[in-house]
A and B are shown apart, each in its own frame.
Chain A
Amino acid sequence: MRDWILKVENLTKIYGDGCPNCLKSETNKCPFCRATIAVNSVSLALYSGEILGIMGESGSGKSTLVRSLYFDISPTLGEAYLNGEERNIFNFNSQEKRKLRNFNMGMVYQSPYRGLNFEITAGGNVAEKLLMANWRSYSNIRRRLIDLFEKTELPLNRMDDFPATLSGGMQQRIQIAKALANNPEILFLDEPTSGLDLSVQARLLDLIKKIQQELKISIILVSHDLGVIRLLADRVLVMREGRIIESGLTDQILEDPQHPYTQLLVNSML
């Protein structure tokens, strides 16, 4: 069996002061102190080389969960471990966290405005990630950029264009190129294809599948789209009101969901 690569225990993110009753709350709004419990006591394991899907409706805490793991958001409680590292990564100092973000992890956001700097060129955006990982030689960086553009099927002649002049699909590819720049072990994809038209979405999904198979990278994929989950994920976690309410093999969750909410979701599929 495959080894785990990332383990998360009781991850919780509370917006507001919080109180001892927050974690017992049924919904993501604490009835006692009115704090928002965006993620409530989530535990999971990501195994090497797998795509783990996280599904659930807007506001269920999916994005907060992956953004916490990428250190965009600091969790209120909880622990996360990488295999081979004994310390909780949330207790790392900021320099260590930056190193993990640059070398071990990659992130693709739903909105390119969050993932890209629109003030610099497409190539510059990817190069930035290389520079942060101490790449110094201009010619090496240029070569790596060409390699990444080819891998993500981006036209080389758009490298010096600004993100605002690129199509939505291309902007997502730039984000993927940037995320893959330093050969990370873990890739977080937060609704990577939402809002794109179908043919662009299909090509991006292809690309993600291809990258996963070629690079044997482990992926956490957040999506509210069951079609995307069915296509890509080996296993799925279902989130609602900040909690994981059900988990299983993708085909099992889609064909034999146990929780009333998952049954509702699956039965709402077109």
Chain B
Amino acid sequence: MQDIILKVRNLSKKFNLHLLGGKVITAFQNASFVLKRGEFLGISGKSGSGKSSLIKCIYRTYLSTEGEIVYYPKNGMPIDLARCLDEEIIDLRHRKIGYVSQFFYAIPRVSCLKIVTQTLIQQGVDEDGAKRRAKNMLLRLLIPERLFDAYPSTFSGGERQRVNIAQALVKKAELLLLDEPTASLDKTSRAIVLDEILKLKKKGISVIGIFHDDEELKRFADRILVLEEGKIKEIYKNDKNS
């Protein structure tokens, strides 16, 4: 049996909107699946089917309503991401779990090089090494050197998103969560980003990813999980990718 990195069981997410008189909106329910170590699991489904919510629950930006998300780190004890302490999540985010959101909230007045360097320093890399690796990653994602000390809040949408991707890809996370990372990119930079993700996958990093383009998804995914109105419709092996 292959080694497992994540086991999601009966996971549900409901929003209780108190401002609307306690209206309950279900994002998804009863989701159960496993992610094998080194596997790329694609999530597909229509807009509003609960894809982003599922990823956000795993990253703990959303609190899960029911169920568990057991993460098995390479070294150390399994941990339920749905219930563990905030401090434990902060630690995992620094060292083990990477996340690329659809939108990047750029911290004002922090240079793009610093943003990327910082994620490595948090992981315990020394400053010189962190800077070198950050520069490399930014260059590979076509952020020119002259922009290194500029603030991403002044960048174009595509440039900003590539900084966002750089900071998630640069650290060697064990688990990478991708929420439509390429949605705002043009064709060239999209191809480059996809290439970098493929490299990470070859290095054995486990990925759960949403891509708005099904063709893209089929290029990488080992298996594809299909969500329909908050329920898992099927999980199938992607034959195109071998």
Contact = CB atoms under 8 A, between A and B. Distances in A.
Interface of A: 1-2, 47, 50, 202-203, 206, 209, 213, 230-231, 234-235, 247-249, 251-252, 255-256, 258-260, 263-264, 267
Contacts of B60: 249, 252
Given A235-B86, A260-B18, A249 B107 contact: no
B24 interface: no
A207 B212 CA distance: 39
Nearest to A261: B18
Contact of B108 (A1, A2, A202, A251): A202
27 contacts: A1-B91, A47-B87, A50-B90, A206-B109, A206-B110, A209-B110, A231-B107, A234-B90, A235-B87, A235-B90, A248-B63, A249-B60, A251-B61, A252-B61, A252-B62, A252-B63, A255-B61, A255-B62, A256-B61, A256-B62, A258-B16, A258-B63, A259-B18, A260-B18, A263-B18, A264-B18, A264-B19
B17 interface: yes
Top 5 A-B pairs ranked by shortest CB distance? A260-B18, A256-B62, A251-B61, A1-B91, A263-B18
Interface of B: 15-19, 56, 60-63, 85-91, 105, 107-110, 118, 121
A202 B153 CA distance: 13
Nearest to B63: A256
A202 B89 CA distance: 28
Contacts of A259: 18
* B interface SS class: mixed
B90 A249 contact: yes
A267 B15 CA distance: 14
A234 to B, nearest CB: 6
Nearest to A234: B90
Most buried by A among B16, B86, B109, B121: B86
Contacts of B105: 230
A209 B115 CA distance: 12
Contacts of B63: 248, 252, 256, 258
A256 B88 contact: no
B18 A248 contact: no
B81 to A, nearest CB: 12
Given A255-B61, A256-B63, A247 B110 contact: no
Interface centre among A206, A235, A251 (most CB of B within 10 A): A251
Nearest to A206: B109
Contact of B89 (A209, A249, A260): A249
B211 to A, nearest CB: 22
Contacts of B61: 249, 251-252, 255-256
Nearest to B64: A256
A40 B85 CA distance: 23
Nearest to B107: A231
Contact of A256 (B15, B85, B86): B15
Given A1-B85, A252-B62, A263-B17, 17 more contacts: A1-B87, A2-B87, A47-B87, A202-B108, A209-B110, A213-B121, A231-B107, A235-B90, A248-B86, A249-B60, A249-B90, A252-B60, A252-B61, A256-B15, A258-B63, A260-B19, A263-B18
Instruction: From B18, B56, B118, name the one whose CB has the most chain A CB atoms within 10 angstroms.
Output: B18
Contacts of B85: 1
Contacts of B107: 231
Contacts of A256: 15, 56, 61-63
